[in-house]
Structure 1
């Protein structure tokens, strides 16, 4: 089982619902404040962080960038672009553990991100 914490500023409940539906009993999902979510990653209480905001990096990833470092974080979408399925998979397999995206793109991003996380960890 993998553990995903949800931080960020927007759509937390919708993100939680979609991850639960996609992951079933293979994913444990917890909604927290940004700081608590990132600290769960730092303290090995969770495996991955996801968050949404208007830009895909500001409110979604600011705390993760500050505490986990840029090498562990990636923005998967911005207001004008979204990474492709292959690019999202590559970010997962490169070792990224914190993922930010825009609120409007969250459904599409999660449709690529969650299977990639499951395949990498439970494959």
Structure 2
């Protein structure tokens, strides 16, 4: 079971996308960015996904402060679209937290979840 914590804007939409993409292989918990990052650091969750209007600011700023910049990445900025090859690279690098613009939740979140499931082991 891969455990996701969710923060930022449109948390329920993110949760629905995680559950749709991961089915019974995932658990998704709506949280705050602060509490979610603390859960990852404590080993109580595996990944964080957050959204904001820009994709990088409020989606990840607190999480970066707790988990470190090298563990976090924006996958889709406002006006942009996520790229499968970029998400694949970030997951393989071991990133733990992903931020996206609200407008890209429906495409970015399934890509992230599917890539994590593909690479777990």
- Per the TM superposition, whether the score is higher than 0.5 is yes
1:64 aligns with 2:63: yes
- Structure 2, unaligned runs of 5 or more: none
**Structure 1 moving runs of 4+ over 3 Å:** none
CA RMSD for the aligned pairs?
A: 1.0
CA distance in 1 between counterparts of 2:110 and 2:28 reads 16
The farther-off stretch of 40-49 and 16-25 is: 16-25
CA displacement, residues 74-106 of structure 1 (integer Å, 9 cap, x when unaligned): 000111323310111110111100000000101
Q: Spell out, residue by residue over 1:34-93, the C-alpha distance to the aligned partner (whole angstroms, 9 max, x if none).
A: 111110011010000000000101110011111111100000011132331011111011
Give 1:19-38 correspondences, 5 Å limit: 19-38=18-37
Provide the aligned length of Structure 1 versus Structure 2: 121
| 2:116 alignment partner in structure 1 | 117
TM-score (norm 2): 0.95
Residue matched to 1:77: 76
CA distance in 2: counterparts of 1:102 and 1:61, whole angstroms: 11
